[in-house]
Every structure is written in structure tokens, then in C-alpha cells.
Structure 1
Amino acid sequence: MKIRQRGVTIGNLPVGQKNCITDVAGVKVGHTTLEHEFGEEKYACTGVTAILPHDDNLFHHKVVAASYILNGFGKTTGLVQVDELGVIEAPIMLTNTFGVPAVTQGALMYMLKANPDIGVSTGTINIVVGECNDGRLNSIRELPVEPKHAVEAIQNAKMEAAEEGAVGAGKGMICFGYKGGIGSSSRVVYDTSSDTAYTIGCMVLSNFGQKEEFQAERYKATEENSVPAYPTPADGSIIIVLATDAPLGSNQLKRVAKRCGIGLGRTGSHFSNGSGDIVIAFSTAHKIPHVSEISVETRYMLRDDHAVMNDLFQAASEATEEAIINSLSQAVTTKGRQGETVYAYPFD
């Protein structure tokens, strides 16, 4: 269950109807989860998660985007072009560290099939993939993730409230020594000057922190000695995906993305040396055509000095914090390779 169902409220802003990144209209999430033995003493405990900014053709109708690196110990693909051009044109994919090449290939295969013009009558495409290391539960060296699993995750994407916890890319992840993985939350802010509501949705792939760092008292959590924490090092990673329908430019999205670090820090993280703490943000307010005959585009954006921008900053920090705690609250005890077991956090 989500942390709010346990009687814990994080922050002050109202949440969306689903309290999920899919509260941002049009956003879809899909998972492929791998959990099986293969070969001798080998175990797949991993998966793929796909986040689609909208249900139209993503290559021909791009969205404004940005990324922000809290700590750069990560193996992502595609972020250089995202920050250069300020757009995303493919599903945002999440997986384990060694699964990045296969997931990149799978997402590319899916997009090439949907767009026969790519690489022929038009340019190439930029695939965005984020990762965390699930090697404590998953036989990561055996490369169990294949391109077809990325395709399946994209095809499984839905606008309903997404599954959370030990699913998809989060299947083998560990957070603060307990079972982590996929978590999501959302916030709604109101611009009274225009009588408009904007939604911010967050999805995380949590795989960081030691038990001693977790700020359990913030979440009314009382740990039982009978449920041991996995002795993980402080280093780890988190991928944070932030979606909004607020009309923001790429630089504004980067500014909002920076505030995700506040929510991450509130849980107990200090962005360790070997941690890949990365934010990928996008806005669905405008769909940018891949081809246009006009030389000038007109878009509307919020003013940086308007009060609603501060509300969006607050929304990003609150939604990130709650998404991380939901990844713990929704996860279940999971067994992996060589009999390793990581327990769900004992909130109850």
C-alpha cells in the first residue's frame, strides 16, 4: 500500500487523483518484470519500466525536456542531446546497469518500426535510458534483460495508476537496506491569477542508502529488530522522472528538476560518491512537431517570477520524497540470486 494508506501525509500540497505520475494527462507507464532461474545458480531478478510522455507518436510530436545531475555516477543514454535541444522524442526507459544496451536497442527497434522515415528521409532518434545496479539480487553479469523486454514494457504502458514497488526496473532494487524499486506520487498546484491547475507527477527508481541514513521518524516508521536490513553500502543510485502539464521551457524544467534533490535529501540521502542521482523532466504542455515549414514557433510559458513557479518547486520536492517512500511502502520481500533475500520495510 502507499504511505498515505498507512496514515502518513508528506508535504502540504494536494495530490492528484491517482497520486501517480499518470495524473499528468496522457502519461503512460508500463513494466516488464523478470523473476526466474536460468542456467546453474543464475537468477533473473530485474526488469524494464517505460514512461511515455503521451500516447501520440513521440518522435513526430516531441515534448519539452531537461535533465539535472545531482551526482553523475551513472550510465544513462541520451541526456546529452536532451540538454542540447531541450526535447524528448522517445519513451523514457529504466532498467539495470548492464541492461542499458539491450533496452536502448529494444526501444530503438520499437520506434523504428513505428517510424519508417527515421534514418531514411529524416534524421536519427535519441533514446533515453536510465539505470540502477540491481546486482545484489539479480545475476547482472548474465544480461537477462533483452531488447524484447523493452518492447514489452512500452506495449504494456497504460494511463492507469502504475504498479509500484518490486516491479519492472525496480524488481531487484534496494533502498536504505530494504526492498525499494518503483515509486510514484503527484501534486496539484493552482495559479489563481488564471484559474488554472497544474499537475506535477514523479516516478522514481530507488536503489540507494544505508539503513542508518533513513529518516524513519519522518514517516512514523518503527523498525522491528526481527526484520533485518540488507548490509548495503551507502553508494547506490536513483533515477527520478518528473512530468508536468505546466507550460515550462527547458531551462525552467531544469530549475524545477533541481528541487527533486530536496525531496531526496529529506529521506536521508546525501548523494554518495558512487551514486547516480539523476533527474529527467518533461512537460506535456506543448507537442513540438518534428517537421514544420515555418521558421518561427510560438509557445507560451509561465513567468519565472510568478508565484506559481515557487509552488511547482515545492510540488517537485514533495512528490519526489513521497515517491521514494512509496517505493519502500509498496515493495514486498524479494528473493534473488544465491538465496539472497531483501525484506520489505516493516512500516506496520
Structure 2
Amino acid sequence: MQEPRRARQLGIVVGGLPAGVHNAITDVAGVRVGHTTIVSGETIRTGVTAVVPDQLLTRPALPAGLSVGNGYGKIVGSTQVEELGEIETPVLLTATLSTFRVADALVTYLLSMPGREAAQSVNPVVAETNDGFLSDIRARPVTEEHVLAALSGATGGLPDEGCVGAGTGTGALGFKAGIGTSSRVATTSRGPATVGVLVQSNFSGVLRVCGVPVPRERVGVPVARTAPGPVGPGADAEHPGNSCVIVVATDARLDARQLGRLARRAIFAMGRVGSDFTSGSGDYALAFATAEVDLPVLPESDVDPLFAAVLEATEEALLNSLFMATTTVGFNGHVRYAVPHDRLLTLLREHGVAGVGRSGYEGS
């Protein structure tokens, strides 16, 4: 089995803006990430991922914007986010049929926090993708304990990626995928601003890397529904995967309208890696800002660098979600194969992509 490697460890660098220290959403100060990965027997491959802004410990809400690329999915709490332009809870990701249990557990977590003893309302934000190809989704195995573990275990630094948390059973663009993250530092008239992205990848299309199409058959990855091996002409077609959730964090002082524009660019970035944006896909991006709200809002003339940052960071996060994933066998013997790094790099070299597969390359 190949070792999971991030895009930059393969020599694949997206765009020209610098990444943050960890090249992760956690490069935005105060943002932590936690996972609970649930693997049980041959049938359960699922979990929970929590994006936790520490600023919510001292502030009732953060400015936020939501963009819906295609609405075939669920985000609990989305209407209040759109109406008020803010989030008041961490953002949690999970599997489709576990969404509501996760939301209930998040409410429990929030009501137990100091200062909320008299609270009578809270708007949990929970999003999902369907991992039913590799996991028995109808079992709804996610419990309150799993959710609380993801929240309490959230840390800074480089989060785990690939087959972890809410990405344990997901697949994208014909390959095994999962959780990915990346960041960029943009220059504005008020100094540097960090944009961090975390994705839960589970959508269809043909993978593109550095503009090069990477169809599954070109890198020797078969279609399969049963355990690894030859696939006969009578085999069932593989479930294509559907949906993508993108969480964007920034320390720039943006209002809800500007954050909605930032979220929209994150959806656009899915096209860079080959999404076909099918009608059955739930493609959502949620952006929030951690800057103090008493600061003046960034002028529109300074938003373009942030647009570039979110496009680059989202593209790289999506690639990391694929390259850090490993081949997984799950429910009913279904298989999703990882992107084979060696064959990918060979294909990119054939297309004249410079810098890929550099020996000894180090970096985030």
C-alpha cells in the first residue's frame, strides 16, 4: 500500500500564493479541527469532523456566508446563517443519515457550556455527504459520544486528512477521497490575511491535476463493487459519489455579504479539479471570519486577493483529500481505490507539468 502524501509532497503546487505554516485551515488563528473515525467490521466506514473557532468561546457569533452550488443535500442551520449572516456554533461534518444525531449532540454540547445555562435557542451548523457506498449508512452509527469526542479533541496544527472523520467512507472523481485542507496568505492594503479551507470530498467527474485530465482507466484503476480483483462485464456500475462540503475560514475583516462571495469562489474551485456538478450532488461552501467585528470591513478593492487565495486553497485541499486517502473496502465488499501516486506523476510528466515528483521534496 502506498504512503499517503499531500500534493506538495508529490511536488504538485497549486497557484502562486504562499501557504500558511501548516498549509491548513488551522493557519487561521484560533481555528481547530477534530475527527472521530468510526470503522467497524466490514460494514461501517464513517465519522465526524469538527471545525471549531475558538472565537466562539468569547463571542456569541461570527460573520458567515453560505454558497449553494447545487442544493441536493443538507446543512442543518443554513437558513439562519443566510438570514442573519453569522454562525454561532462550530461547523460539523458527517454522513447523510447521521446529520440529525450530530446536530442534536452539538446542541447538547453547546447547552452545557458555561454562560448558556438559560439558553432557549441555538442554531447548530451540521453538513453532510453520502458515504453509503462504503458504509452501511442506514445503521446511523454516529452517537453523541462520537460528536463530543471530535469537539473535545479538536486541535491546532496540521489536521489528519484522507480517510478520517467525515471522510472515512467518501470518494470523489472516481477515486477514494475524504478530508483535505490547505491555506493561503494574501496581501491586502491592511497587511497579510490568511484564508484556510477544509473539504469533505464526495463528488463525481473526471479528476484534473494541474489542468491534466486523470481518468481512472488512464492510471490503471478499475471500476469495482466487490473485493479487489478483475471486474467482469456483468459487474454493477460503481456508485459515482455525490456532494462536497467546503468550510472556509479567514482572519480578514469581511462582512456576511463578502463572505458569501468568498464561499462562491470555493464552489468554483471544484471545477478546477474536474467536478461535473451533477443534479444529484449537494455542493455547499460556508465561509466565516474570525476578525473582531469592531474593525472596519475590508474594502471591495481588497477582496480580489482573497478570491485568489480561496480558489487556490480549495483546489489544493481537494487534491489533498484524494492523495491522502487509501484504498478502502467496505459495505457489501465495495471498493474505492486510491489515486496511484506513481502513475499520476508519470502522466503529469508526460504532459510537461514541471516540478512534480521531485526526489526528497519536503513541505506542507
Q: TM-score, normalised by structure 1?
A: 0.88
Q: Is the 8 A contact 2:133 2:239 kept in 1?
A: no
AA at the equivalent of 2:16 = N
Shift of 1:123: 4.1
Matches within 5 A, 1:259-270: 259-270=265-276
C-alpha distance in 1 between matches for 2:336 and 2:278: 21
Q: Which residue of 2 aligns with 1:294?
A: none
Match of 1:184 among 181, 185, 204: 181
Alignment of 1:223-242 (within 5 A): 226-230=220-224, 231-234=237-240, 236-242=242-248
Cα deviation 1:171-211 (Å, max 9, x = unaligned): 000111211010001000112x33x110000000000114x
Deviations 1:39-83 (A, max 9, x none): xxx62100000001226526x442111111010001210011111
- The whole-number CA distance in structure 2 between the counterparts of 1:63 and 1:226 is 46
CA contact (8 A) 1:234 1:272 kept: no
- How far residue 219 of structure 1 moved from its aligned partner, in angstroms, is 6.0
Greater shift in the superposed pair: 143-152 or 44-53:
143-152
The one-letter code of the counterpart of 2:52 is: L
The count of corresponding residues between Structure 1 and Structure 2 is 325
One-letter amino acid of the counterpart of residue 340, structure 2: P
User: How far did residue 232 of structure 1 move?
Assistant: 4.0
Bigger shift: 162-171 or 140-149?
140-149
Contact 2:20 2:184 in 1 (8 A): yes
Closer/same/farther in 2, CA of residues 86 and 55 from structure 1, 3 Å limit:
closer
Q: Deviations over 1:265-317 (max 9, x none)?
A: 11111311010000011000026xxxxxxxxxx4411011x2x3111011111
Secondary structure of the 2:269 match is helix
Residue 198 of structure 2: aligned partner: 203
Match of 1:139 in 2: 136
Do 1:207 and 1:236's aligned partners in 2 also have CA atoms closer than 8 Å?
A: yes
- 8 Å contact 2:56–2:62 — kept in the other structure? no
Structure 2 residue identity aligned to 1:76: I
1:280 partnered with 2:286: yes
CA shift in 2, pair 1:285/1:225, >3 Å:
closer
C-alpha distance in 1, partners of 2:271/2:248?
16
1:214 aligns with 2:207: yes
Residue 36 of structure 2 contacts residue 147 of structure 2 at CA under 8 Å; is this kept in 1?
yes
Within 5 A, what are the aligned runs for 1:71-82?
Answer: 71-82=70-81
Task: Give the drift of 1:112.
Answer: 0.9
Cα offset for 1:261? Answer: 2.1
- Looking at structure 2, the residues matched to 85 and 268 of structure 1 have their Cα atoms a distance apart, in angstroms, of 33
8 Å contact from structure 2 (residues 25, 31) kept in 1: yes
Corresponding letter in the other structure for 1:302? L
**Once structures 1 and 2 are overlaid, which stretch shifts more, 47-56 or 98-107?**
47-56
Match of 1:328 in 2: 322
Q: CA deviation at 1:255?
A: 0.8
Mapped pair 1:27 → 2:20 = no
1:18 is matched by which residue type in structure 2?
H
- Counterpart of 1:250 (choices 246, 252, 256) is 256
Unaligned runs of 5+ in 2: 225-236, 343-364
- Residues 1:177 and 1:78: Cα distance change in structure 2 (over 3 Å): same
Q: Which whole-Å CA distance do the structure 1 matches of 2:199 and 2:14 have between them?
A: 16
1:91 correspondence with 2:87: no
Q: 1:271 aligns with which of 268, 277, 302?
A: 277
Separation in 1, partners of 2:96, 2:143: 13
CA RMSD of aligned residues (A): 1.9
Q: How is 1:284-299 mapped onto 2 (pairs within 5 angstroms)? A: 284-286=290-292, 298-299=294-295
Counterpart AA for 2:255: G
Q: Which amino acid aligns with 1:73?
A: Y
Structure-2 separation of matches of 1:117 and 1:190: 38
The one of 170, 175, 178 aligned to 1:173: 170
1:36 corresponds in structure 2 to: 40
Provide the secondary structure at the position in 2 that maps to 1:240. Answer: strand
> Would the aligned equivalents of 1:235 and 1:272 in 2 still touch at CA under 8 Å?
no
Out of 316, 332, 345, the position equivalent to 2:339 is 345
Q: Aligned residue for 1:303?
A: 299
Contact 1:240 1:279 in 2 (8 A): yes
State the shift of 1:235 in Å: 5.9
Secondary structure at 1:202's aligned position in 2? Answer: strand
What's the counterpart of residue 290 of structure 1?
Answer: none
**Structure 1 range deviating more: 85-94 or 216-225:** 216-225
- Rounded to whole Å, the distance in 1 between the matches of 2:30 and 2:219 is 44
Q: Is the 8 A contact 2:171 2:241 kept in 1?
A: no
Change (3 A) 1:116 1:198: closer
Distance change >3 Å, CA 221–CA 274, structure 1 → 2: closer
Offset of residue 106 of structure 1: 1.1
SS at match of 1:114: coil
Whether the aligned pair in 1 keeps the contact of 2:170 and 2:241 (CA below 8 Å) is: no
SS in 2 for 1:28: strand
